[in-house]
Chain A
């Protein structure tokens, strides 16, 4: 059922010395290599921004790194662009470009690394930086029908001049605005879906499905309807306040996000978290993953109109929500993480009760899975539908369960272990087909792995303190990561010298995967669209921030 990765999809395992050596050989005089800080293993500073595209290409395609994202910062009148690459087993490599703030353009790397496409568009919209060679900039985060050109809200100078009320009223919708349509055949038309659809139960995303009849020829998801500028409103806030934002910007994976944020703070202050807290964090992460996957499976059953199965999956999900609430006091695990550990301890009885709920959920998922695989009308809707082959998945840097269903083995729990995951036994399920069925199988397998991980954790819980004091330093830079249910999340934090947030950057799996979503939709029929959407299980709000 779960295949081993083919040589094509397998990423080369390289050591950090190999990367450093390779870069030095080829770009010797143009780069400065140093050990990175704040969670980065190797930092490569470029003396000349023009080196950026070839070095990115080398890291991504030759060294087998996956692309983490771009972090743009304005530090003391200088631009600092940090391009993150992850290589399995040896941590994060950062390619650093610095330039005075009068610079208005950088070379684009999205021709070499397609996964950087949206990152560059986002920075162009929010910081007003152009990326030379990028095929399509503009109309991304700030929708052209709502926002005037040249706002660049994330620029430093905007902090003082932006008056929330006046600036909000200044934006008037532009009735002349029309989306860009590409398909030009006779009879071609575009079918708009969203942002309010499925009775509003769908998330706020707008899809423009271009077609000449039966099949979707081109699809462009327009996101950022939920753009709340979390990164900007965190600026100037104390760490405790930013933690609340980290927890609340994407609630279906709130624990993983708050955990990644806490790691950043703990790394900055050099705090060692007690073992009990580390173990309980794994338990809560896996509880969240199990609950999330039960919800994703419910979504897939609903999208194929298999109501009984959908109801049964929904029962499992609601029971897990209730078990989470009984265990932690909140159905979505809010208010548990704090830098230095957890905010509350759990008794042995409540752990026992949780384990019973987990066992029951796992058993019911097994029964449901068996039933689903016997239902050919259901499988027909998933098999060979919404295919992302391993090559495309690699090209677009798919992460999370969606990536793993397309042969991308990446999982931060194993590639870049945190909070003690390296001491646990678990499998990272994979498939190669990249269709809806593969994604469903991966979801089920991951849910079982989570259940067994929770059991492993429960065996190791020793009485101990649950948190240590963690005072964030006044000044610092660090990032934290965690494998959220939808895929890896990165939280990058810089404090400004008085303990307040200077720059907070969140890179989420949904942002990564929405970019490639169109690949799965194009060339499939209209009626497959909701099924593909459900099998991806992406979160718009996690992408939008």
Chain B
């Protein structure tokens, strides 16, 4: 087996230095639309109109974005209409609108956080991006983050997908099997707000209608670094952000 040992060494280290330094490589994030000033109220209204999920609201010349609804359809990113400003950051984790503050898990969890993922009707993208956290680029083990085989040993529940009718019971069972203290993270637009699937006879329209959600990671799908930011926020190693405040600073 020395063959693969050498192969591995030859390849060198690829891990990002995030969270110590920001990751600047191209293509790690699709970016997000942020609050934009237009030259006229008409332009702002046109920019808001292209959004199929109503994530853009206008006030006079300015348009604001509710990232929790955004499905990254790129309609406001390129095309023949007045376009929103996009910012390529990835620290998107936020506290759900219904909650006022987030209580991080205690100190003891900081370097040993065990994670279970439940695919509750995901399209495959969010789950795939969660999986990427284990690849050499993101290498979440170095931060003391681990996927665990069963909810009974998990501290954090990552839910992807809008919660389908057939997954409702498995999701509830997984949550109930977890020991306290525990945190629930909604990953991706579908888990946060129902996304394009919304609420229907087979979809609960987001995790919060089934379980108490502690943190939202918006994006369709959120890139691995956005999920990493969310996992670091669970134990208070990063702060959840207020989208509107950071958007205004960036715009």
Contacts and interface: CB of A to CB of B under 8 A. Distances in A.
B30 A325 contact: yes
Interface stretch (B35-43, B59-67, B99-107, B120-128): B120-128
B174 to A, nearest CB: 6
Q: Which residue among A201, A227, A252, A377 has the maximum number of chain B CB atoms within 10 Å of its CB?
A: A201
A244 B210 CA distance: 25
18 contacts: A162-B201, A164-B203, A200-B117, A201-B131, A202-B119, A225-B121, A226-B121, A227-B165, A244-B71, A244-B73, A245-B196, A254-B123, A254-B125, A315-B11, A329-B77, A331-B129, A331-B223, A539-B124
A334 B31 CA distance: 13
Contacts of B134: 314
Contacts of A230: 197
Interface of B: 1, 3-5, 7-8, 11, 14, 25-31, 52, 71-75, 77-79, 115-125, 127-132, 134-137, 147-149, 151, 158, 161-162, 164-170, 174, 195-204, 220-221, 223
Contact of A233 (B128, B130, B148, B197): B197
Contacts, number: 213
A336 B134 CA distance: 29
A198 B149 contact: yes
Which bracket fits the contact residues of A?
Answer: 35 or more
Contacts of B170: 195-196, 204, 225
B199 A371 contact: no
Interface in A330-374: 330-332, 334-336, 343-344, 371, 374
Nearest to A206: B170
A344 B117 CA distance: 35
Interface stretch (A316-324, A448-456, A520-528): A316-324
Nearest to A541: B124
B8 A334 contact: no
Given A199-B148, A334-B72, 8 more contacts: A225-B121, A240-B52, A245-B197, A252-B125, A312-B8, A322-B25, A325-B27, A335-B75
Interface stretch (A66-74, A90-98, A165-173): A165-173
A241 interface: yes
A315 B223 CA distance: 15
A377 B1 CA distance: 9
A315 B201 contact: no
Nearest to B132: A318
Q: 4 tightest A-B contacts by CB?
A: A322-B27, A335-B74, A200-B117, A251-B125
A367 to B, nearest CB: 9
Interface in A186-231: 195-204, 224-230
Given A162-B201, A228-B203, A326 B124 contact: no
Nearest to B115: A199
Interface string A136-175: 0000001101110000010000000010110110010100
Interface in A234-257: 240-241, 244-245, 248-252, 254
Contacts of A224: 166
Contacts of B78: 329, 343-344
B125 A332 contact: yes
A248 B160 CA distance: 14
A375 interface: yes
A309 B119 CA distance: 26
B147 A201 contact: yes
A225 B204 contact: no
Contacts of B196: 244-245, 248
A308 interface: yes
A165 B167 contact: no
A199 B116 contact: yes
A200 B119 contact: yes
B200 A229 contact: yes
B72 A330 contact: yes
A244 B4 contact: no
A218 to B, nearest CB: 22
Contact of B127 (A162, A201, A331, A343): A201
B197 A228 contact: yes
A311 B134 CA distance: 9
B117 A334 contact: no
B165 A171 contact: yes
Contacts of B135: 311, 314-315, 317-318
B3 A374 contact: yes
Contacts of B29: 325
A542 interface: yes
A248 B71 contact: yes
Interface in A456-472: none
B162 A228 contact: yes
A168 B167 contact: no
A142 B78 CA distance: 40
A317 B164 CA distance: 29
A527 B243 CA distance: 47
A10 interface: no
Contacts of B220: 248, 334
Contacts of B122: 204, 226, 541
A122 to B, nearest CB: 14
